[in-house]
Chains A and B, each alone.
Chain A
Amino acid sequence: AQTVTQSQPEMSVQEAETVTLSCTYDTSESDYYLFWYKQPPSRQMILVIRQEAYKQQNATENRFSVNFQKAAKSFSLKISDSQLGDAAMYFCAYRSAAGTDKLIFGTGTRLQVFP
């Protein structure tokens, strides 16, 4: 079975600085997708960024980028130029390319942004 581990329960960053959130996963599959979701206090989960395992190039979405290391089964999220609105819970998630599309989530990292 696949598992996702987020070892940082809480992180903090100052506005305009850069922060990296860690995620590791375990799988025996070769084809899968990885996601970072943001869950603000209102609780609506929002997709931040996605990565297809077959792509070597790291995904980037504006201030958000990932460092995908397939051999190490690592998928970290870098937030550049942090803003107050980035404060939220961040969840790393795994989805197999086969079977149903269910997401397997980590336990989350709470990000605080200080002015």
Chain B
Amino acid sequence: GAGVSQSPRYKVAKRGQDVALRCDPISGHVSLFWYQQALGQGPEFLTYFQNEAQLDKSGLPSDRFFAERPEGSVSTLKIQRTQQEDSAVYLCASSLVQGASYEQYFGPGTRLTVT
């Protein structure tokens, strides 16, 4: 089947604008993760969903960041009043279930540039 898809692949926003980034996980995958990858760095965890429940949002850097997964499938990461420090690649990953050594499958990412 298809892998994890993300849209848009590239987004340029002016400082202060709101943006919405979409993630389509692999069909049937229960767990969904968002990571932020700054230039030259490893991905950093933002938030985690199990079905529609957001079980961990400890990595969200500020209250300008909001994520949802209302029907337990597609997820949207919203960033309000974007700042230059929000420029990064935002990666989405999904896995079949929680626990054990189940693999997380990553999408291609959305590169956000805030000017």
Contacts and interface: CB of A to CB of B under 8 A. Distances in A.
Interface in A1-41: 4, 6, 33, 37
Q: How large is the interface on A (under 10, 10 to 19, 20 to 34, 35 or more residues)?
A: 20 to 34
Contact of A45 (B45, B55, B56, B91): B91
Interface in B1-50: 3, 31, 33, 35, 40-45, 48
Given A43-B109, A50-B101, A52-B101, A103 B56 contact: no
Contacts, number: 62
Main secondary structure of the interface of A (DSSP, over half): loop
A101 B98 contact: yes
Interface of A: 4, 6, 33, 37, 42-47, 50, 52, 91, 93, 97, 99-108
14 contacts: A42-B108, A43-B109, A44-B3, A45-B43, A46-B106, A100-B48, A101-B98, A102-B33, A102-B45, A103-B35, A103-B43, A105-B43, A107-B40, A108-B40
A101 B99 contact: yes
Contacts of B93: 45, 103
Nearest to B47: A102
B75 interface: no
B85 to A, nearest CB: 18
Counting contact residues on chain B (CB < 8 A from A), the size range is 20 to 34
Contacts of B102: 101
Given A43-B108, A50-B103, A106 B42 contact: yes
B61 interface: no
A106 B55 CA distance: 24
- Output the residue of B35, B40, B42, B91 with the most chain A CB within 10 A: B42
Contacts of A4: 42
Nearest to A106: B42
> Which 4 pairs across A and B sit closest by C-beta, in order of nearness?
A105-B42, A45-B106, A102-B45, A100-B56
A71 B106 CA distance: 31
